Amino acid sequence: MRHRATTILNHKTLVDRCANRKGPIVIVGFQRRTPALLPSRYKYPPRSQPNFQNSNPVPQPRLLLLLPLSASNLLHLPPASPREASLLPNASAQPPPIQALDPSDWRFVPESRRMAAPTTSAGANGTAAAERMARQVGAPTNPMATALLTDQYQFSMAYAYWKAGKHADRAVFDLYFRKNPFGGEFTVFAGLEECIKFIANFKFTEHDISFLQSVMPMCEGAFFDYLRKTDCSDVEVYSIPEGSVVFPKVPLMRVEGPVAVVQLLETPFVNLINYASLVTTNAARHRHVAGKSKVLLEFGLRRAQGPDGAISASKYCFMGGFDATSNVLAGNLFGIPLRGTHSHAYVSSYMSLDEIPDKALTSKDGSRVCKDFVSLVKEWLLKIQLADSLCGVFGDTNQSELAAFASYALAFPTNFLALVDTYDVMRSGIPNFCAVALALHDLGYKASGIRLDSGDLAYLSIEARKVFRTIEKEFNVPAFGKMIITASNDLNEETIDALNKQGHEVDSYGIGTYLVTCYSQAALGCVFKLVEINSRPRIKLSEDVTKVSIPCKKRSFRLYGKEGYPLVDIMTRESEPSPKAGERILCRHPFLESKRAYVVPQHVEELLQCYWPGTSNKPRIELPSLEEIRERCMQQLEKLRPDHIRRLNPTPYKVSVSAKLYEFIHSLWLNEAPVGELQ
C-alpha cells in the first residue's frame, strides 16, 4: 500500500478525493482534547479510542482504517494546526504499522456520539465562534452528556413553544438553590466546567432526531428540522466562578437565549450542578473539621453510585480540599494524586516467610545488596521483643503477617505503608511493621507509616505513636516517631470531630462511603426558574414563601467589611448602578419587610461573570484548571467568618436585595397574584 501523507486535506478536498473511492482508506488523524468521532459503522482498535478528558492535550498521530466512505457520512475533521502538520510523516517516511486485531475486539462509537455537521442556525459568524469555543473547552467528561440528556417534558415544552411561534423568544433563567446542605450555612459551587462543555458540544445527531421522532410521533416534521439546526451559539451563560462559596437564592448561573433552547438545558444543568456542588461542599466540611494539617484521602470508588458517580466524586472531593484519591481513572483524567497501600486480603494471602522467593534487596544508594532481607527483618523483630524500653510488651507475632509485610516492602521499599489490623494491632501488626521498617532503615530507606482500619482509632493511634517514639530513642532512628498514621473505617464528619475531642495521633484520613454518597443529604435541590422573557420580568408564586422566585435579570454582588470578611450578598436589577466601596447601601430581605440594614462595604465583588457569550461579543472568562479551582475554594473558605462555617449552630449568612428590587418584587407579586373574594 502506498503511503501518501504529504499534505493536510481540508474538508472539501477530503470529500472530493474519498467520495467515490473503493477499498480501505488510511487517514492520519490527531487525538485532540475534543476528539473527532467516527460514524458507528467505522471500526478502530481499542487502543486508538479517544480519551474524552485528556489532561495533557498534546496531539498524538494515529492511523484510522476506514471502510469505503461517501460524502454524506464523511467524518468532519477540525483543521490541523501547524504543530500537528509538523508531526505528519513526509512522503518518504514509513507509516506507523497497522496492528491486525480480531474484529470481535474492535469497538464501535455509538451513532449517537457522532459529530454533527456544522449548521448556521444563529448565523455563520455566531456558529463559527461557537465551534471555536467548543474546540477550546473540549468535550464533556462523561460521553453520556449529550443533547438527549434531559427530561421528556422539556421536549414537550420545546415543541409547544415552537408550535406557538414562541421558540425564539429571548428568555432569562436563574439557576440557584434554596437551602444550604448538611445543616450548615455555606455551599461550594461546582460543576460549571461540565456545563460549559455541555453547551459547547450541544447538537442533535440524526440518530437523536430519529429517536425523538419515534417517541413524539404527534409532532410535525418541521419541528425536527428545527432541532437539527439547534445549537447553543445564541445562548449566553453568566456564572459565579467555580469553587466559590455561595448561598441560597443568589443565582449560581444566569442563562439567556431562545426560550426553547434554554428550556432544553434546564435538566442537564441542574444535574451537572446538583451533585457536584453537594459533594464538593461535603468534602469542604470534612476538610474544615479535620484541619489544614491533616491529609485527606478519598477512598469512595467502591461505594459510589456507579462509575459516573465515582469519577465525579473523586474530581469534586479534590476540588473541595482532599489531597488524593484511590481512583486510578480519576487520577488519569484529572491529574489528581493517587494513594493506596494494600488490603487485608494481601496480608491473609501469606502463610509463612518461606513463600517469599526472592529475599534480596539493594540498598537505596545502590552501594550494597542485602541477600536475605527476611533474615534482617527477623533480627529486628527479636531486638524489639527484647528491648528494655518496651518492657517486653511484644511477644510472638503472626508470622504470616510478617511475611506479607516483608514481601510488600521488597516490592515497595521507598513507599512502605502497612495495614496493621488484620490480626491484632498492638500484639502483632505494630511490632511486625516496626521490624520491617527498621530493616528498611538499615538499607537507607524510610518507611511511610501504618493504616488503621478498625478498632478504637483514637486509642490505637496514641499507643502506636508511643511505640514509634520509643523505638526512635531506643535504636537512634531519626524521625521514626513521626511515622504517618492513617485512619479509615467508615469515617465521616462526626467521627473526625469526635476524634478531635478525644485526642488522637492520626495524621491522615481515608474517607469513602459517607463522603461520596453524601449520606446525610441526598441532594442539594437546585432549581432553574424563568425570571424574564422578551425583557418582561416574570415571577413564580407559592404559598410557601421560600419557593417564590426573584424576578428579572439581576446582578449579584458580595459586600466585604473592614476585617475582610464578607458581610452580605446583594442582588440588584441589571439597570441599577453597581454598589461602591465606602457608600452606604440599604440591604433588604427579599420577602420580610422588617429585615433590613444599611451596609458600608470596604470592598465590593461582582459575582456573575461571562463564561459563554453567545453572539453578544462579550469577553469570555477562560475556564481555570482543577488545581486553580481547588485553590479558590480553600481561599474562599478562609475568608468566611468562623461562626458561619462552624459545625454546631452556625450563623446564617445574609442574602439581600436592593431597595429598588425589593419594591419591584412586591409590586409584581401583587400584580400577578389573583385577588380572592370572601363570600
Q: What is the sign, positive or negative, of the torsion defined by CA atoms of 609, 615, 616, 619?
A: positive
> Dmax of the chain from CA atoms?
101
CA–CA distance, 470 with 303 (Å, rounded to integer): 38
Does one domain contain both 501 and 527? no
Least confident residue range of 89-93, 134-138, 168-172? 89-93
Does one domain contain both 574 and 653? yes
> Which CATH number fits the domain that encloses residue 400?
3.20.20
What is the average pLDDT score of the chain?
86
Backbone angles phi, psi at 659, to 5 degrees: -60, -40
Does one domain contain both 249 and 204? yes
Does one domain contain both 472 and 583? no
CA–CA distance, 480 with 484 (Å, rounded to integer): 10
Does one domain contain both 394 and 502? yes
Whether 570 contacts 250, CB under 8 Å: no
Confidence at residue 126, expressed as pLDDT on a 0 to 100 scale? 62
Q: Is 618 a member of any domain?
A: yes
Report whether pLDDT(351) > 70: yes
Report whether pLDDT(636) > 80: yes
Does one domain contain both 556 and 412? no
Confidence at residue 123, expressed as pLDDT on a 0 to 100 scale? 52
514 vs 42: which has the higher pLDDT: 514
Whether 493 contacts 647, CB under 8 Å: yes
Confidence at residue 569, expressed as pLDDT on a 0 to 100 scale? 98
Confidence at residue 670, expressed as pLDDT on a 0 to 100 scale? 92
Report whether pLDDT(553) > 60: yes
Integer-rounded Cα Rg, in Å, for the chain is 31
CA–CA distance, 6 with 661 (Å, rounded to integer): 64
Tens digit of each residue's pLDDT (9 = 90 or more) over 214-246: 999 999 999 999 999 999 999 999 999 999 999
Residue with cell 528494655: 388
Least confident residue range of 34-43, 133-142, 259-268, 453-462? 34-43
Residue with cell 475582610: 564
Whether 615 contacts 529, CB under 8 Å: no
Range of the domain at 476: 344-506
Nearest to residue 151, comparing CAs of 253, 264, 235?
A: 264
Tens digit of each residue's pLDDT (9 = 90 or more) over 301-319: 999 999 999 999 999 999 9
Distance of CA 608 to the CA centre of its chain: 21
Whether 181 contacts 524, CB under 8 Å: yes
How many domains does the chain fold into? 2
| Arithmetic mean of pLDDT, 362-386 | 96
Q: Is 96 a member of any domain?
A: no
pLDDT band at 514 (very low <50, low <70, confident <90, very high): very high
Does one domain contain both 533 and 492? no
Report whether pLDDT(27) > 80: no
Nearest to residue 464, comparing CAs of 480, 446, 447, 485?
A: 485
636 vs 64: which has the higher pLDDT: 636
Does one domain contain both 396 and 447? yes
Does one domain contain both 270 and 131? yes
Nearest to residue 603, comparing CAs of 641, 566, 642?
A: 566
Confidence at residue 45, expressed as pLDDT on a 0 to 100 scale? 39
Residue with cell 527483618: 377
Report whether pLDDT(55) > 70: no
| Arithmetic mean of pLDDT, 105-109 | 35
HEC letters along 453-505: CCCCHHHHHHHHHHHHHHHHHHHCCCCHHHCEEEECCCCCHHHHHHHHHHCCC
Which of 449, 480, 506 is where one domain is finished? Answer: 506
Collapse the DSSP code of 377 into the 3-class scheme (helix H, G, I; strand E, B; otherwise coil) and give the result: helix
Report whether pLDDT(100) > 80: no
Confidence at residue 132, expressed as pLDDT on a 0 to 100 scale? 79
Confidence at residue 117, expressed as pLDDT on a 0 to 100 scale? 40
Confidence at residue 136, expressed as pLDDT on a 0 to 100 scale? 85
Which residues, 6+ apart, have CB-to-CB distance to 563 below 8 Å?
Answer: none
Collapse the DSSP code of 84 into the 3-class scheme (helix H, G, I; strand E, B; otherwise coil) and give the result: helix
Distance of CA 242 to the CA centre of its chain: 11
For residue 305, give the C-alpha cell.
453510585
**Residue 638: how many other CB atoms lie within 10 Å:** 11
For residue 326, give the C-alpha cell.
484511590
CA–CA distance, 359 with 649 (Å, rounded to integer): 58
Q: Is 86 a member of any domain?
A: no
| Arithmetic mean of pLDDT, 275-297 | 97
Cα three-residue angle 497-502-503, rounded to 5 degrees: 95
Confidence at residue 129, expressed as pLDDT on a 0 to 100 scale? 72
Which of 478, 506, 534 is where one domain is finished? Answer: 506
Does one domain contain both 502 and 531? no
Confidence at residue 315, expressed as pLDDT on a 0 to 100 scale? 98
Nearest to residue 553, comparing CAs of 569, 568, 538?
A: 538
| Distances in whole angstroms, Cα of residue 140 to Cα of each of 196, 464, 548 | 9, 46, 33
Does one domain contain both 356 and 464? yes
Confidence at residue 520, expressed as pLDDT on a 0 to 100 scale? 93
Confidence at residue 345, expressed as pLDDT on a 0 to 100 scale? 97
pLDDT band at 33 (very low <50, low <70, confident <90, very high): very low
Report whether pLDDT(262) > 70: yes
Q: What pTM was computed for the model?
A: 0.82
Confidence at residue 83, expressed as pLDDT on a 0 to 100 scale? 46
Residue 534 amino acid letter? N
CA–CA distance, 641 with 35 (Å, rounded to integer): 45
Confidence at residue 674, expressed as pLDDT on a 0 to 100 scale? 87
Q: Is 549 a member of any domain?
A: yes
Enumerate helices (H) and strands (E) in the chain, giving the number of each.
20, 26
| Distances in whole angstroms, Cα of residue 446 to Cα of each of 82, 229, 278, 440 | 48, 62, 39, 7
Least confident residue range of 125-134, 343-352, 618-627, 650-659? 125-134
Q: Is 7 a member of any domain?
A: no
Which of 477, 506, 535 is where one domain is finished? Answer: 506
Q: Is 462 a member of any domain?
A: yes
Report the half-sphere exposure of 43 (CA within 13 A, side-chain side): 11
Report whether pLDDT(261) > 60: yes
Q: Is 170 a member of any domain?
A: yes
Whether 61 contacts 88, CB under 8 Å: yes
| Distances in whole angstroms, Cα of residue 317 to Cα of each of 255, 283, 519, 646, 666 | 27, 5, 14, 20, 40
Confidence at residue 8, expressed as pLDDT on a 0 to 100 scale? 42
**Residue 133: how many other CB atoms lie within 10 Å:** 19
Which residues, 6+ apart, have CB-to-CB distance to 12 below 8 Å?
Answer: none
Q: Is 492 a member of any domain?
A: yes
Residue with cell 428550556: 263
Least confident residue range of 28-37, 417-426, 582-591? 28-37
Tens digit of each residue's pLDDT (9 = 90 or more) over 156-174: 999 999 999 999 999 999 9
Residue 161 Rama label (left phi>0; alpha psi -120 to 50; beta): alpha
| Arithmetic mean of pLDDT, 261-271 | 98
Specify which residues 508 forms β-bridges with: 295, 486
> Which CATH number fits the domain that encloses residue 138?
3.20.140.10
The length of the chain is 679
Report the half-sphere exposure of 392 (CA within 13 A, side-chain side): 0
Does one domain contain both 378 and 276? no
